[in-house]
Amino acid sequence: MALLEVKDIHTYYGNIHALKGVSFEVDTGEIIALIGSNGAGKTTTLRTISGLMEPREGAVYYDGDDISNTRADLLVSRGISMVPEGRGVFAKLTVEENLDMGAYVRRDGDIKEDFKSAYSLFPRLEERKKQFAGTLSGGEQQMLAIARALMSKPRLLLLDEPSMGLAPVLVDGVFDTVQRIANEGVTILLVEQNAHMALQIADRGYVLQSGEVAISDTASNLQQNETVQKTYLGID
Partner 1 sequence: MDLIWTQTSRRVLVYGLLAGAFILFIGAVGMIAAFHEREVVDRFISLGQLMLMLAPFVTAYYVAGQVAERDQDRPLALVSGVLIGLLTTVPTVILLLFNSDQYRFLLDLTLRLTPFVAATITAWRMHRAGAEAQTALGAWLAIVLLVGIVTFSFALIFEIKGNLRSVLVNINREWVAVVTFDNRGDLMRGLGALALVSTVSGFAGSILYLLPAVPRRALIYGLGVTALIGAFGETARLILQENVDRDTLREIFRRDTLRQNAALALFIISTAAGFLWARYGGQARARFGSLESAQRRAINIIGLVLFVVIMLMLPWLIGRTLSDVAVTIGIFVLMGLGLNIAIGLAGLLDLGYLTNYAVGAYILAVLTSIGPLGLFKGTFTFWMVIPLALLAAMFAGFVFAVPVLRMRGDYLAIATLGFGEIIGKLAISDWLKPLIGGAQGVQAIPKPIFFGTELKNPEQLYYIVLVASLVTLFVSIRLNNSRTGRQWMAIREDEDVATAMGIDTARAKLLAFTLSAATGGVAGAIFAAKVGTVFPNSFTVFISINVLSLIIVGGIASNPGIVVGAIVLIGMPELLREFSEFRFLLYGALLILMMIKRPQGLIPSKIVTHETRSGVKPKLATAE
Give the binding site for partner 1 (CB under 8 A): 50-52, 71-77, 81-82, 84, 88, 90-93, 97, 100-102, 104-105, 132, 134-135, 148-149, 152
| CA pair distance 94, 7, nearest whole angstrom | 40
CB atoms within 10 A of CB 28: 14
**Min. distance of Cβ 90 from partner 1 in angstroms?**
4
| CA pair distance 228, 120, nearest whole angstrom | 36
**Min. distance of Cβ 228 from partner 1 in angstroms?**
30
Q: In what order do the strands lie in the sheet with 31-35?
A: 80-83, 156-160, 187-192, 31-35, 204-209, 212-218
- Give whichever of 150 and 213 is closer to partner 1, judged by the CB atom: 150
**Min. distance of Cβ 140 from partner 1 in angstroms?**
15
| CA pair distance 154, 142, nearest whole angstrom | 17
- Give whichever of 148 and 204 is closer to partner 1, judged by the CB atom: 148
**Min. distance of Cβ 44 from partner 1 in angstroms?**
14
- Give whichever of 93 and 214 is closer to partner 1, judged by the CB atom: 93
**Min. distance of Cβ 235 from partner 1 in angstroms?**
35
- Give whichever of 190 and 207 is closer to partner 1, judged by the CB atom: 190
Report yes or no: 94 and 133 within 8 Å, Cβ to Cβ: yes
**Min. distance of Cβ 150 from partner 1 in angstroms?**
12
- Give whichever of 50 and 163 is closer to partner 1, judged by the CB atom: 50
| CA pair distance 21, 109, nearest whole angstrom | 41
SS3 content of the chain, % helix, strand, coil (to 5): 40, 25, 35
- Give whichever of 2 and 101 is closer to partner 1, judged by the CB atom: 101
Nearest of 125, 165, 168 to residue 146 by alpha carbon: 125
- Give whichever of 41 and 154 is closer to partner 1, judged by the CB atom: 154
Give the ranges where 23-103 is alpha helix by DSSP (H). 42-50, 72-77, 95-102
Q: Is the dihedral of CA 89, 122, 155, 195 positive or negative?
A: positive
**Min. distance of Cβ 199 from partner 1 in angstroms?**
26
